[in-house]
Amino acid sequence: MIDIHSHILYNVDDGPEELEQSLAMLESASNEGITDIISTSHSLHPQYDVSANAVTEQVSLLQNELHQRNISLKIHTGHEVRLCEEIVELCQTKQIHLLANSNYLLLELPSSTVPQYTKNIISALLVEGILPIIAHPERNKAIAEKPERLERLIREGAVAQLTSGSIAGHFGSAVQKISLELVRANLVHTYGSDAHNLTTRPFLYNEGLDYLERKKELDAVDLFLENNERIVKNNPLVIYEPEVNQKRKWWKLF
């Protein structure tokens, strides 16, 4: 299994503070059955802006530590990039890490809004051959109020990532409810933990998948796991047409 969204680097953003905490998180991920994990420290966030070089250096350090401890887990570079007008230029100049050196970018919206220029950024990224993956839309207040706001972005060409803790109920019943609604509306396409630590923001990777299975969303589980693998391999994603309450059908391959 592959986790495409995590905050595992220490002392750089709001993830772990020390090396041993990072390693404990990685060991926990491995114990959950995760074989690959993408490190997605914040970039261009109002509070955190981890440089591409810092990501590369620490991923290498942590990978070496895992090797010495015989923990079979592959770490990939990445960023969780806050929406801004300079994203395309920063991608072109390699100041932002795409996910696992692929053509996929993890894009974070502001927590309460979907800015009007979001669709312009999506279009500009697509022109460059970069597919934006909207991080945790279920926790965006504007999308929770009107899920059609996310649907419009999906129809513009973006895809979206569901967080394991959201669907597992870690952020409360309201977030869990909207998460399931987005799954059933075919508005989320990939899956990540967004883990920050082992206490208040743990992985909950399997818990989220188990909840989806209990809700008979077995196709969604298969889709998430397959698309996560496709991201790491830089292969086209499988995407269902975003239609509420209609039979799922293949929509497109990016």
Range of the structural domain that residue 36 is part of:
2-253
Per-position pLDDT tens, the chain of length 254? 999 999 999 999 999 999 999 999 999 999 999 999 999 999 999 899 999 999 999 999 999 999 999 999 999 999 999 999 999 999 999 999 999 999 999 999 999 999 999 999 999 999 999 999 999 999 999 999 999 999 999 999 999 999 999 999 999 999 999 999 999 999 999 999 999 999 999 999 999 999 999 999 999 999 999 999 999 999 999 998 776 544 444 344 44
Helices (H), the chain: 19-31, 52-68, 87-92, 118-127, 141-145, 148-155, 164-168, 173-184, 205-214, 218-232
CATH (domain of 207): 3.20.20.140
Q: Are strands 250-253 and 238-240 parallel, antiparallel or unpaired?
A: antiparallel
Number of domains in the chain: 1
Q: Which two tokens stand for residue 58?
A: 């620490």
At residue 146, φ and ψ (nearest 5 deg) are -140, 90
Q: Is the pTM of this model over 0.85?
A: yes
